[in-house]
Amino acid sequence: MNLVFATHNKNKALEIQALMPAGITIQTLEDIGCFEDIPETADTFAGNAELKAKYVAQKYHVACFSDDSGLEVEALNMQPGVYSARYAGENKDDEANLQKVLMELKNYTNRNAQFRTVICLVKDDQTHFFEGIVKGSIRFEKAGTGGFGYDPIFEPEGNSITFAEMSREEKNKQSHRARAFAKMIEFIKE
């Protein structure tokens, strides 16, 4: 079975393909000839995921899923949230976003944060949602070179290293995205 992942992010597609059972092939937007930047105009993760998945499913007549994810920091009133990718500006600069969070947290002792993912799957004219959360804390400085986004400053609960210091396999075992996708995969298997 082919499933289209409504993303242009090859890193995310690789992470998800590694989680999929045999027989399910993940295609990206480029794989189906979609080079549009689908607007994320909703104010929730679920709303943005649904906008993208429905747009692709309806326009290209494919089973499609989309996710929207972000970092939610307690001391920053759960920001950057849905604005995680463009927190420091519309150019979606990972380093600038990460530095802005570190700067805004410099006078806070509460470093509690979580990553949240919501997936919307549109298949056979049905819409389904799956959520994954991983709690942790924000480091005072970057550590690690793996992953992407806020991974170098996020230390998941029960760990002494950041997501960026983990191998892809280690991160996949506990990430917010992995948790949400595990729920979607279970649903697909049924």
Which domains does the chain carry?
2-189 (3.90.950.10)
Q: Sign (positive/negative) of CA torsion 33, 35, 41, 46? A: positive
Query: Which residue bears the tokens 């150019």?
Result: 91
C-alpha distances out from residue 117 to 19, 36, 104, 133, 140, Å: 15, 22, 23, 6, 24
Predicted confidence at residue 45, as pLDDT, reads: 96
Predicted confidence at residue 134, as pLDDT, reads: 97
**Contact (Cβ atoms closer than 8 angstroms) between residue 141 and residue 91:** no
Q: For residue 90, give both structure tokens.
A: 């519309």
Say how far apart CA 123 and CA 126 lie, in whole Å.
5
Q: Sign (positive/negative) of CA torsion 14, 15, 18, 21? A: negative
Query: Which residue bears the tokens 């001391």?
Result: 75
**DSSP summary character for residue 113:** E
Predicted confidence at residue 140, as pLDDT, reads: 95
Say how far apart CA 134 and CA 115 lie, in whole Å.
5
pLDDT by 10s per residue, the chain, length 190: 889 999 888 777 887 887 788 888 999 999 999 998 888 899 999 999 999 999 999 999 999 999 999 999 999 999 999 999 899 988 888 999 999 999 999 999 999 999 999 999 999 989 999 999 999 999 999 999 988 899 999 999 999 999 999 998 898 888 898 899 889 988 987 7
Number of Cβ within a 10 Å radius of residue 32: 17
Beta bridge pairs of residue 186:
none
**E strands, the chain, in order:** 2-5, 25-27, 64-73, 79-80, 112-123, 126-138, 154-156
Say how far apart CA 56 and CA 138 lie, in whole Å.
35
179: left (phi over 0), alpha (psi -120 to 50) or beta: alpha
Positions annotated as catalytic residues are 68
Q: What is the DSSP string of 39-63?
A: ----SSHHHHHHHHHHHHHHHHTS-
